[in-house]
Amino acid sequence: IRDRARRSLEKGAVTENYGGSVEQTVELLNEALATEIVCWLRYRFHAVTAQGINSEAVKAEFDEHAQEELEHANMIAARLPQLGDPPPFTHDGLTQRSSSQYVEGDSLVDMIEENLIAERIAIETYREMIRHFETHDSTTRRMLEEILATEEEHAEDMHDLLVAHQG
């Protein structure tokens, strides 16, 4: 182990027994990072622009979710350099890399629906990624499991708001 640890020091935390493709991992995490950034932007926009007699509680929920999406983006961004790749904090291709869409919505209910759709997309995407990393990258898998748990809470919150505001 000591001899192997001395080889390829330029790879940092990526050792010879990394079970997957670092390039594929970086690609998947770049997509996840883009998705989290798009979700953060959408939630922030909704938190600022939501209107109506019942909007204050919904705006507070949007704001809370925006903060959590930003935390997810920061977690993913911190993982990328551990794999030898800096996070792509540029707007170039952001929406193309994202699994989710940036949709503003015309009403409070539209905003809630768009956020619920985005959360459902994130849930499916993270579940697929977790299965992918299951046997060869426990660090990334655990990070994604933590993010998935929050995304499931977000979906439940958006569902509850949708029921409350749409009936």
| Structure confidence by residue, pLDDT tens digits, 19-57 | 889 999 999 999 999 999 999 999 999 999 999 888 999
What's residue 11's pLDDT?
Answer: 73
What's residue 92's pLDDT?
Answer: 74
Measuring CA to CA, which residue among 137, 157, 128, 115 is closest to residue 21? 137
What is the C-alpha radius of gyration for the chain, rounded to an integer number of angstroms? 18
What's residue 86's pLDDT?
Answer: 85
Q: Say which residues have a Cβ less than 8 Å from residue 14's Cβ, sequence separation at least 6.
A: 8, 22, 82, 83, 84
What's residue 159's pLDDT?
Answer: 97
Mean predicted confidence (pLDDT) in 4-12: 76
What's residue 70's pLDDT?
Answer: 97
pLDDT over 90 (residue 115): yes
Q: pTM to 2 decimals?
A: 0.90
